[in-house]
Structure 1
Amino acid sequence: MKNFPVFVFPVSLEFYLNARHTHKQLLTVYNPYDFPVNFKVLCTSPNKFTVIDPEGVIAAQSCIDIVVRYTQPSAAHCNSTEKFRITMYDRNTQQALGKRDVPTKLLEGEPISANLESLSDSFHPLSTRSTPIRAVEEHKDHRVTCTHTPYHREQQPVNVVAVAVSICCIAALLLPTQPEPVTSSQWPDWLHIGSNLKLVFSFVLGLVSMLVLRP
C-alpha cells in the first residue's frame, strides 16, 4: 500500500444532541495530485450515520464535499467516539494510495459558538478619514505620544573646495591633447597634456560631482 497523504477538512466532527443544525455536517476531501483518484468512506458505526455518495471520483487538483448525517442522536450515544475512514484508490489498479481517519463524537447541550455573539466585544465601523500617524505607548500611569512630523532636508553648505577642484578639472579637460601638432595649435607647448592625464581629470571630476550633487 502506498503512503499518499489524504487531506480532509475538518479533522474531526462534533455533533450536539440539542442542536439539530449540527446533525448534518460536511467533510471536504482534497485531491492535490495531478491525477484523478477514487475514494471510499467507511464508518465504525454505520447504523448511526448516513453518508451521501460514500464512493466516487475526485478529479485532479480538485475537492469534493461529503454530506454526513447523524441519524440516531440520543443521550445514550453521547460522549462515545466513532470514526470515519476516507481511503483513496488508484483508478487503474484500484490499489489503496492512502487513508485518513476522522473521529466523531456526539456531545450534550449546544455548541459554545451559539453564545459567542453575546460574549464578544462591541465592534464599531472605522472612519475612512485620513489622520496623522500617531504611536501611543502606555507604561503604568504615564502616557507618551509620538507624532511623526514631515522630514525636511536641511540645506547643506556649498563645498568650496569641491567646486574649485571641479573648475580645475574642467579647465584641464579643455586644454589641447599632447599628440596634436604644436604648429597647428595656438596654445603654448607646456599646456599640451596627454590623454592619460585627461582620463585622470575626468575621473576626479566625476567623484567631485557625486560628492556635490548627492542628497
Structure 2
Amino acid sequence: MKNFPVFVFPVSLEFYLNARHTHKQLLTVYNPYDFSVNFKVLCTSPNKFTVIDPEGIIAPQSCIDIVVRYTQPSIAHCNTTEKFRITMFDRNTQQALGKRDVPTKLIEGEPSNTNPESLGDNFHPLATKAAPIRPSEEHSRVICNHPLHHREQQPINVVAVAVSICCIAALLLPTQPEQVVKSQWPEWLHIGSSLKLVFAFVLGLVSMLVLRP
C-alpha cells in the first residue's frame, strides 16, 4: 500500500441515543489529486450501521458525501467505539493508495448546545455602528481635506518673494528713451524697454510659482 494522505471530514462521528436527528450523518471524502481514485468504506460493526454507496469513484480535485446511518441505537451500545475505514485505490491497478480510520461512538443523552471552547470566558458581540465624530474632529477633517489649507501650510518661498519685489521695483523705474525734464531720478536708474520685458517675464514666472495650488 502506498502512503497517500486520505482527507475525510469530520475526523470522528458522535451519535446520541436520545437525539434521532444525529442517527444520520455525512462523511465527506476529498480527492485533492489530479487523477481519479476508487474508494471503499469498511466498518468494524457493519450490523449497527447502514452506509449508502460504500464504494465508488471520486473525480480529480472533487469530493463525495457518504451517508452513514446508525440503525441499532440502544443503551447497550453506548460508549462503545466503532471505526469506519475509508481506503482509496488506484483505478488502473486497484492498488491501495492510502486509508483513514474514522472513530464513532454512541453517546447516551442528547447533544449539548454549549460550546466547550467558550467556557471560562465571557464574550460579547461587538457593535457594528460607527462611533460618532466629535465636532472638533469633524472640523479638523474638513480643514485637512480642503485644498486651500494645503496651500496655507506650504512654507513661503523667501527667494521668490525677493525676486518679485526686485522685478516690480525695476518695472517702476523710468524707461531710458523718455526725456524727463528736471527728472528726480538719476540717469543710471533709467532702463531700456527690452530689459523691462525681461523683468516682466521673470515676475510672471515667479507669480505662477508662488500662487499655484
Task: Sort the TM-score into its range (normalised by shorter chain).
Answer: 0.5 to 0.7
Structure 2: 5+ residue stretches without partners: 116-122, 145-149, 164-208
Quote how far apart the aligned CAs of 1:157 are: 3.0
Q: Distance in 2 between matches of 1:90 and 1:133?
A: 64
Partner SS, residue 14 of structure 1: strand
Check 1:131–1:87 CA distance in 2 against 1; reply closer, same or farther (3 A cut). same
Tell me, yes or no, if structure 1 residue 73 matches structure 2 residue 87. no
Tell me the equivalent position of 1:142. Answer: none
Deviations 1:35-70 (A, max 9, x none): 100000001111111101101000111111100010
Q: Distance in 2 between matches of 1:78 and 1:95?
A: 36
Quote how far apart the aligned CAs of 1:158 are: 1.4
Partner SS, residue 102 of structure 1: strand
Tell me the equivalent position of 2:156. Answer: 158
Larger Rg: 2
Q: Distance in 2 between matches of 1:54 and 1:72?
A: 18
Identity of aligned residues (%): 81
Tell me the equivalent position of 1:64. Answer: 64
Q: Distance in 1 between matches of 2:159 and 2:96?
A: 83
Q: Distance in 1 between matches of 2:162 and 2:62?
A: 73
Quote how far apart the aligned CAs of 1:155 are: 2.0
Cα-Cα RMSD: 3.8
Q: Distance in 2 between matches of 1:103 and 1:55?
A: 19
Number of aligned residue pairs: 158
Partner SS, residue 97 of structure 2: strand
Tell me the equivalent position of 2:188. Answer: none
Tell me the equivalent position of 1:11. Answer: 11
Q: Which aligned pairs between 1:112-191 and structure 2 lie closer than 5 A? A: 112-113=112-113, 132=132, 150=141, 152=144, 153=150, 155-161=153-159
Letter in 1 for 2:73: P
TM-score (norm: length of structure 1): 0.61
TM-score (norm: length of structure 2): 0.62
Relative to total residues, which structure has the larger helix share, 1 or 2?
2
Structure 1: 5+ residue stretches without partners: 135-146, 166-208
Relative to total residues, which structure has the larger strand share, 1 or 2?
1
